[in-house]
Amino acid sequence: KGWVVGRAAGVPVVLSPGWLVAAVVLTAFFFPTARQLLPESGAVGLAGAIALALAAVLMLFGSTFLHELAHAAVARRKGMTVRQIVLTLLGGHTEFAESAPGPGSSALVAVAGPATNIVIGLLAFGAWKILPVSGALAALLFVAALTNGFVGVFNLLPGLPLDGGRVLESAVWTATGRRSTGTTVAAWAGHVVALGVVAWVLVPAFLAGTSPGLTQVVWGAMIAGFLWTGAVQARQGAKLDVA
């Protein structure tokens, strides 16, 4: 559920209520860094820092939209019907009317999104290194490079519901001839990735003898919970597919 804010090649683009929550939280998260980059005092400096933090968040969600648009474009070329693109609390998803016709098509649709982020990240990094920019613009380019690179690589981790999980599912599907088997394997791998996220958040701080930050714990828990729930749903779907 959400608000239709436009259409991309005829496909509705929907903002979920969770997107607004994420926009506010991430703006607050980026604000201290923006304040350091724009140290002017008074209302002008405060307004500038808020605008810079908000611009970084909007740029992040713009990259998410392009990620989902790439999924939709490749899916259409493979004969699939795209129902909608939804931007959510933890990113977004593209909804299809039917499953991919084969493992090759499924893998290509899955890879299209992360590949788009990686390309954007490389272009932003190149611009940040080459162009004579500084201050807010340099910060935005660096944030674009960092966030797109992270989103692209993270989504390629081999576990459902991530895009890399679809690639693993397709590989097992090809090897066994059964999509349900591929889904089950990739879903269990998704549980491993979810536990890995928890370890990534907690273990370094504990080894250093400190406590992880509250924001880090909250976002880590949300992402791990999303991955765990998605993996459970995938396994349930695989059982129905067998039945």
* Percent of residues, the chain, with pLDDT higher than 90: 54
Q: What is this structure's pTM?
A: 0.88
**What's the DSSP call for residue 92?**
E
Residue 81 has φ and ψ, to the nearest 5°, of: -95, 125
pLDDT attached to residue 90: 77
Instruction: Read off the pLDDT band of 241 (50, 70, 90).
Output: low
Instruction: List phi, psi (to 5°) of 103.
Output: -65, -35
For residue 86, pLDDT beyond 90: yes
* pLDDT tens digits, one per residue of 177-214: 999 999 999 999 999 999 999 999 888 888 888 888 88
Tokens of 150: 């992270």
Average pLDDT value over all residues in the chain:
89
- Do 34 and 53 contact (CB within 8 A), yes or no? yes
Known catalytic residues are 68
Condensed to tens digits (0 to 9), the pLDDT of residues 127-153 reads: 999 988 777 788 888 888 988 999 999
Kindly report the three-state secondary structure assignment for every residue of 144-181.
HHHHHHHHHHHHCCCCCCCHHHHHHHHHHHHHHCCHHH
**Cis before residue 161, ω within 30 degrees of 0?**
yes
